[in-house]
Amino acid sequence: MGIAEGRVVVVTGAGRGLGRAHALAFAAAGARVVVNDLGVGLDGQPGPDSPAELVAREIRAAGGQAVTHGGDIATAEGAASLVDRAVAEFGRLDTLVNNAGFLRDRMLVNLDEDDWDAVVRVHLKGHFLPLKYAAAWWRAEAKAGRQAAARVVNTSSGAGLLGSVGQGNYSAAKAGILGMTLVAAAEMGRYGVQVNAIAPAARTRMTEQAFAESMAAPGEGAFDAMAPENVSPLVVWLGSDASAGVTGRVFEAEGGRITVMEGWRPGPTTDRGARWTPAEAGEAAAKLLAESEPPQPVYGAR
């Protein structure tokens, strides 16, 4: 019996990279998997192959159960049909792993509006809509007296936590995913839904250009710290019954390292009980900054 035995799991963007690794890991842990992938390139344009079907075949060849979904989950129709696919094929939905995304990197002054909209659409809207329709199904189940032990795992990034030079659109979308994760965890707990997020680091199509040297594959027999498969065990645990009670949390995962990320918390503060002048406010702020922890550097900053 695997840790996800009997669960029905949807993974978006599961044709390659992290999504593929997650889908295979869930199947190995006993889950029935819906493999979603639009089959597009890094720029969001359709490709000639069907990566979702290749992953599903791999799962079935290993004795698991998997079906595919090729819809655009950043549309209401595509997201709704994703949930429908899971329920129609397997009778239920237990876990949603939001993973789909792509990059269009530019410095902010060179970033076109279309590049901003496309990245925010796929990452942020592409998380929101599957979450919305999955949550609606779980809410209906709860109201019918069949409360689920449901799980959602969202995919953010270090760029969403700290920012990343040349990735203003991506960083904003990934930061938005963190905010949405916290709200969803608070709103959906009453229906038996736990919502968490990961900020993974791994070698994928999205990262191989930016980190070509640091993410090079190791020699034969060495631990490949940048392999996507290293992130999946945490995702499988978060998507299983074993993670009961864990919700509204963010984890970094890279190689053999797992870190619980702690978000904004009040630091040094002062209150004079009256309005400040600009000069007084500046003096007070400078004193508080001297007492505070310095921020972590933005990725790519010098």
Q: What is the CATH number of the domain that holds 84?
A: 3.40.50.720
Check residue 207 and give its pLDDT.
52
- 99 lies in a domain? yes
- 253 lies in a domain? yes
Q: Going by C-beta distance under 8 Å and a sequence separation of 6 or more, which residues neighbour residue 234?
A: 198, 251, 253, 258
Of 10-24, 36-50, 116-130, give the lowest mean pLDDT range: 36-50
- 228 lies in a domain? yes
Q: Active site residue: 170, 191, 240, 243, which one?
A: 170
Q: How far is CA 184 from CA 187, 191, 201, in A?
A: 5, 11, 24
pLDDT class of 146 with cuts at 50, 70, 90: very high
* Total of domains in the chain: 1
Q: Which residue has the tokens 């949603």?
A: 96
Q: Which domain holds residue 74?
A: 8-261
Residue 78, helix vs strand vs coil = helix
- 298 lies in a domain? no
Q: Going by C-beta distance under 8 Å and a sequence separation of 6 or more, which residues neighbour residue 127?
A: 98, 154, 155, 177, 180
The answer on pLDDT for 294 being more than 60 is yes
- 137 lies in a domain? yes
Residue 82, helix vs strand vs coil = helix
22-53: per-residue pLDDT in tens?
Answer: 999 999 999 999 999 987 655 555 555 689 99
157 catalytic? Reply is yes
- 279 lies in a domain? no
- 177 lies in a domain? yes
Share of the chain above pLDDT 70, in %: 91
Q: Active site residue: 174, 191, 240, 243, which one?
A: 174
Give CA–CA dist 200/78, Å, rounded: 25
Identify whether the C-beta of residue 88 lies closer than 8 Å to the C-beta of residue 1: no
Q: Active site residue: 125, 133, 156, 157, which one?
A: 157
143 catalytic? Reply is no
Edge-to-edge strands of the sheet including 95-97? 65-69, 32-36, 8-11, 95-97, 150-155, 193-201, 250-254, 257-261
Q: How far is CA 110 from CA 106, 114, 160, 167, in A?
A: 6, 12, 20, 11
Check residue 218 and give its pLDDT.
60
Share of the chain above pLDDT 90, in %: 81
- 270 lies in a domain? no
170 catalytic? Reply is yes
